[in-house]
Chain A
Amino acid sequence: AQKITQTQPGMFVQEKEAVTLDCTYDTSDQSYGLFWYKQPSSGEMIFLIYQGSYDEQNATEGRYSLNFQKARKSANLVISASQLGDSAMYFCAMSDYKLSFGAGTTVTVRA
């Protein structure tokens, strides 16, 4: 069984600063995918970034980067230059045939 742990229920960040969201996972699979999604108050789950277990380089997508440390089983999301529109819930997820989600971290960006 796969398990995702997000230990930060909520975080505040100043506009234009960077923020790191923690995610650790547990799996016995050798091949797996790690995802981050953003969920604004509207409810839609927005895909942000993906990291494959065999990818040697950390994934980046614009202002989002994933700090993947396989030996430590962690996949932290870094959001650089935070914007007010980044205020949302962020979920880390792992896939096999389905996505298993963490509990999420609420990010509030302050002006």
Chain B
Amino acid sequence: KAGVTQTPRYLIKTRGQQVTLSCSPISGHRSVSWYQQTPGQGLQFLFEYFSETQRNKGNFPGRFSGRQFSNSRSEMNVSTLELGDSALYLCASSLVPEQGASTDTQYFGPGTRLTVL
């Protein structure tokens, strides 16, 4: 079974631009979560989508948004890019989690490395 895929793998943007990252989950997985990883803040949860609805959201500004399609593929968008948005963005999928289920394993993609100049 194919793993989680993310495109593109690398992106270079300038301040003020916007960017869209894509994530295709493992076949059959219905939940997709997004994380931001930076050297200073570590790994932080952005949001989670299930059945095309955002179920949970982390503590990020409204410039960060996402969506999920009927085939469970997900995109995240960052508008008005800032230098501090430079990070590795990781997408993870899980099977069919109940809200708050603690046993569902999240499987990660290779990440998209975003550089904002």
Q: Chain A: residues with CB nearer than 8 A to chain B?
A: 29, 31-33, 35, 37, 42-47, 50, 52-53, 91, 95-101, 103-104
User: What distance in Å separates the Cβ of A63 from its nearest Cβ neighbour in chain B?
Assistant: 19
* A32→B111 contact, CB < 8 A: no
Contacts of B100 in A (CB 8 A): 96-97
Contacts of B111 in A (CB 8 A): 43-45
Q: List 22 A-B contacts (CB under 8 A).
A: A32-B102, A33-B102, A33-B104, A37-B108, A43-B90, A43-B111, A44-B110, A44-B111, A45-B111, A47-B105, A47-B107, A50-B105, A95-B102, A95-B103, A95-B104, A97-B97, A97-B100, A99-B106, A100-B45, A101-B42, A101-B43, A103-B42
B66-117 contacts to A (CB < 8 Å):
88, 90, 92, 97, 99-111, 113
Please state if B56 and A97 are interface contacts (CB–CB under 8 Å).
yes
Tell me if B22 is interfacial: C-beta within 8 Å of chain A. no
User: Is there an interface contact between A99 and B35, defined as CB atoms closer than 8 Å?
Assistant: yes
What is the bound-complex CA distance between A101 and B56, given in angstroms? Answer: 17
CB-defined contacts of A97 to chain B, threshold 8 Å: 48, 55-56, 97, 99-101
A44 to B9, CA, bound (A): 11
